[in-house]
Amino acid sequence: MKTTRDDIRNIAIIAHVDHGKTTLVDQLLKQSGVFRENQEVQERVMDSNDIEKERGITILSKNTAVQYKDVKINIIDTPGHADFGGEVERVLKMVNGVVLVVDAFEGVMPQTKFVVMKALALGLPIVVCLNKIDRPEARPAEVVDEVLELFMDLDASDEQLDCPFLYASARNGYAMYNPDDEPENMIPLFETIINHIPAPEGDPDANTQVLISTIDYNEYVGRIGIGKVDNGSIKVNQEAVVVNHHDPDKKQKVRISKLYEFEGLNKVDVEEAKIGSIVAISGISDLHIGDTICSPENPEAIPFQKISEPTISMNFIVNDSPLAGQEGKFVTSRHIRDRLYSELNTDVSLRVEQGETPDTYKVSGRGELHLSVLIENMRREGFEFAVSKAEVLYKTDENGKKLEPMEIAYVDVPDEFTGAVISKLQQRKGELRNMGSIAGGYTRLEFRIPSRGLIGYRGDFMTDTKGNGILNTMFDGYDEYKGDIQYRATGSLIAFESGESVTYGLFAAQDRGTLFIGAGQKVYSGMIIGQSSRAEDIEINVCKKKHLTNTRSSSADEALTLVPPRVLSLEQAIDYIDTDELLEVTPENLRIRKRILDPRLRKRANNK
């Protein structure tokens, strides 16, 4: 017999990047009394790892819970980037409704569309929260229309269209029913969640069923499965069976050794959890996302959609440059292999396979951002390795035709840069679908473009729009191969011999292009020290000192002035490298190099 559990609400907070989801969760935590009055609380407390804090983006979905009156609200904060879409899809299986956060100035953005589509498809009720209402240029009335238009485009039901709208400023800690109300606190949002989002349903007397939607990992207890109790109850020391909807043969007997529920930012030990509760279960070593934990009497798996396939791959290779092993703690292929396979514990959209050589691992993910976050994490942990240019994963159809992943790219650019952006994207096989002007002297362009056409484009895009453009992409299935694309119109400046770079050598080199290094840096033969101004590669000796004679003094060098080098960030370096180049990643440096370091062997390979 199904019953509802009125003292619980399970919600996910979804939004485009940077529209204020994580800040909103901060306020809900503060105003529900999770923190003491005088407690020091850092901002965006849910973004727990360093990269999330620095970039201000959420990468992994997080669980928390707040108490309002006598109702416990379980909140899941989800990522906004399409690269982490795998996270969003799974999390929505745990909740009974979503809070959609939309920036009251920017309005509906491509990723908003991506996450709303997932929520509507699952039939979840939506509460719309217009955030940043205190911005002087906020335009709430127009944004409400944009949201309703989006719902209609996505075939929302009448109940979904009849959703409540709230006007909030997460930073200042208030939400209002009408934009003209007097701002006070977050109570209107709490009330709307309780009145509009249905309570979880289930059969308390049935056999246990818990669908695992997220995996956490902790070095002390190993894998922790997080999911919602759909039916029955789950107790500590209970015998159970793990089954999976997509893997009918899986039947693993387990014992539940530890059970937690969420309270504020903490996990709290509980002896038993009933329907509707979101629980964390530890002590089951081989637990995966999509598994269902059931009673042994009647094991029945809960259906679960497959996780989106990766579209892009990179090779992670043991570093074999002349400077290998000098800066990293973990450098062997075994270290790299173990680290990549441990990443699979928590990241479901990632794939790792053995590459063509024993020292190479092919790592596939959802996009460049997805892989660059992994590279940055490994680098900070003390790993040293090399990575190849990102390549897309092709498929073949039944007629043997080559198919490649496609993206829809939404580009907002100031009007005067539109021409440059259109011509660049058309060279990269992009097809202009739509073009219209938006507020503030900007044009919005919509392209359909092969995923590989966007590899290495963001740097050019920032230069072409003087840093004022916004580029958002969304995966759009597979289509026939669109032909070859030239990634880079210019060659590289390559160091000719090993040693240390000196001002005299660099001064001669800077007329040939843009330098990536300054004086006093270690270089080796085959290392790339800059971007050539011509189409072909140029080899240059930057370790060359000036010969001294009676009439020449060494102090004459001091007058030479070098243009400051262009120091590439990790993303820019990944974007820059070409197919015959590698990026050497160490905890201290990023160096770009040719795959074949020896100039003679390199020339032979090029002639072939």
pLDDT at 58: 38
Burial 333-348, CB ≥16 within 10 A → b, else e: bebbbebbeebeeebb
What is the pLDDT confidence band of residue 305, given thresholds at 50, 70 and 90? low
Beta bridge partner(s), residue 360: 317
Tens of pLDDT, residues 240-262: 888 877 777 778 888 888 888 88
Tens of pLDDT, residues 392-437: 888 888 888 889 888 888 888 888 889 888 998 888 889 999 888 8
Mean pLDDT: which of 88-97, 280-289, 319-328, 566-575 is highest?
A: 319-328
Q: Please tell me the distance from the alpha carbon of residue 17 to that of residue 583, in angstroms, as a whole number.
A: 28
Model confidence at 360: pLDDT above 50: yes
Residue type, 494: I
Read off the pLDDT of each residue in 558-562 and give the average, rounded to a whole number.
74
Mean pLDDT: which of 114-128, 487-501, 517-531 is highest?
A: 517-531
Write the CATH number of the domain with boundaries 3-201: 3.40.50.300
Per-residue tokens: 117: 């589509």
**Pick from 183-197, 213-227, 371-385: least confident:** 213-227
> Is the domain defined by 203-294 classed in CATH 2.40.30.10?
yes
| Architecture category of domain 492-607 in CATH | Beta Barrel (2.40)
Model confidence at 55: pLDDT above 80: no
Model confidence at 208: pLDDT above 90: no
What is the pLDDT confidence band of residue 354, given thresholds at 50, 70 and 90? very high
pLDDT at 587: 92
Write the CATH number of the domain with boundaries 395-480: 3.30.70.240
Type and span of the H or E element at 101: strand 97-103
Residue type, 127: V
What is the pLDDT confidence band of residue 377, given thresholds at 50, 70 and 90? confident
Q: Please tell me the distance from the alpha carbon of residue 479 to that of residue 429, in angstroms, as a whole number.
A: 13
pLDDT at 335: 93
Read off the pLDDT of each residue in 304-313 and give the average, rounded to a whole number.
75
pLDDT at 362: 94
Annotated binding site for GTP: 18-23, 131-134
Question: Between β-strands 499-500 and 522-523, what pairing exists: parallel, antiparallel or unpaired?
Answer: antiparallel
Q: Please tell me the distance from the alpha carbon of residue 168 to that of residue 99, in angstroms, as a whole number.
A: 12
For the chain, what is the mean pLDDT? 81
Q: Please tell me the distance from the alpha carbon of residue 406 to that of residue 398, in angstroms, as a whole number.
A: 19
Model confidence at 80: pLDDT above 60: no
What share of the chain has pLDDT > 70, as a percent? 87
pLDDT at 439: 67
Read off the pLDDT of each residue in 116-144 and give the average, rounded to a whole number.
85
Model confidence at 51: pLDDT above 70: no
Residue type, 407: E
Token pair 């102090």: residue:
555
Model confidence at 575: pLDDT above 70: yes
Q: Please tell me the distance from the alpha carbon of residue 237 to that of residue 392, in angstroms, as a whole number.
A: 46
- The single-letter DSSP state of residue 1 is -
Read off the pLDDT of each residue in 580-593 and give the average, rounded to a whole number.
92
pLDDT at 591: 94
Task: Answer positive or negative: Cα dihedral of 505, 506, 510, 514.
Answer: positive
Q: Please tell me the distance from the alpha carbon of residue 281 to that of residue 261, in angstroms, as a whole number.
A: 9
Residue type, 424: K
Domain extent listing, the chain? 3-201, 203-294, 395-480, 492-607
Q: Please tell me the distance from the alpha carbon of residue 246 to that of residue 231, in angstroms, as a whole number.
A: 20
Asked whether the domain spanning 395-480 has the same topology as the one spanning 203-294, the reply is no
pLDDT at 81: 46
